[in-house]
Amino acid sequence: MKNKVVVLGSLNVDTTLHVANMPQPGETISAQSKTSSPGGKGANQAVAAARSNADTCFIGQVGDDQSGQMMIKALKDNGIDTAHINIVEDQGTGSAVILLDENGQNSIMVYGGANQSMGSAVIKQAEELIKSANFIVAQFETPQERTLEAFKIAKENGVVTVLNPAPAATIMPELLAVTDLVIPNETESATLTGIEVTDEASMDANAAKFQKMGVKNLIITVGDKGAYYSTEAAHGFVPAFKVDAVDTTAAGDTFIGALCSQLSGDLSNIAEALTYAQKASSITVQSMGALPSIPTTDQINATYKN
């Protein structure tokens, strides 16, 4: 049976400036080229889940503009239910400017726009949808207050709540109390716990700190090294698949969406689901752009036949 994954998150149009090297403070450089594509952490995670055959639905907000229509169409084209995307007239659709260097590394600047003006009514209108899900996933490109409202509904109805605390910010303690699984990268984890991630012992310490903060289950993504996991039943490290990265944009989002498409509600198959998610993200980084680079299950299976 397919997992039903509801993503509460951001919808951004990404503009990528391709540069030889990242600019230094005060330096003006020329971009080699410019590309635009649908993106936003929420959209990326939803598309990754949908392309891995999850029954995927989206809760979000866009402006009444061409960019908003572009984002809704991009999700619909991937078979995602967009009935709970709200359209507002007083805010523009979110956008992001990405600097991408020749080594595949990026720096990202995000304008929240309609994403950040989301009100409680959007969550109330999606209450029945949230109740019907297996997983609900959220990030920090929409207001934490909305995530808290959605996670409370989910927890009351046995839906697994997954928080990707990116970009890193101070987390509302009451939000952590209703989070089943938190998935930061190593930098975000260190920011939130105050414990630098350097080795497995420090990851264990991060897990212990998150448990004290109210979250029993943790995954820390560590770029091209792999992913650490700690649940009530087990902990360990799943290595990444070594590839030549072209563009790391959406790698983490692909990982999360693909993971939620495979994960069982009790997290008992977490190591297997993490391996699948690592395969998905390893393919994403080998192509340009956010949504265009996210693989399908067939592509993942064809690439990793053994």
End-to-end CA distance of the chain: 24
Sequence-distant (6+) residues with CB within 8 A of 199 are: none
253 is catalytic: yes
Comparing C-alpha atoms, which of 18, 79, 68 is closest to residue 249? 18
- Which segments are annotated as binding site for ATP? 185, 221-226, 252-253
From 180, 253, 266, 298, active-site residue: 253
What are the binding residues for K(+)? 247, 249, 284, 287, 289, 293
Residue ranges at the known binding site for substrate? 12-14, 40-44, 141, 253
Binding site, by residue number, is: 12-14, 40-44, 141, 185, 221-226, 247, 249, 252-253, 284, 287, 289, 293
Type of residue found at 186: E
- CA proximity to 77, closest of 296, 236, 227: 296
Enumerate the active-site residues: 253
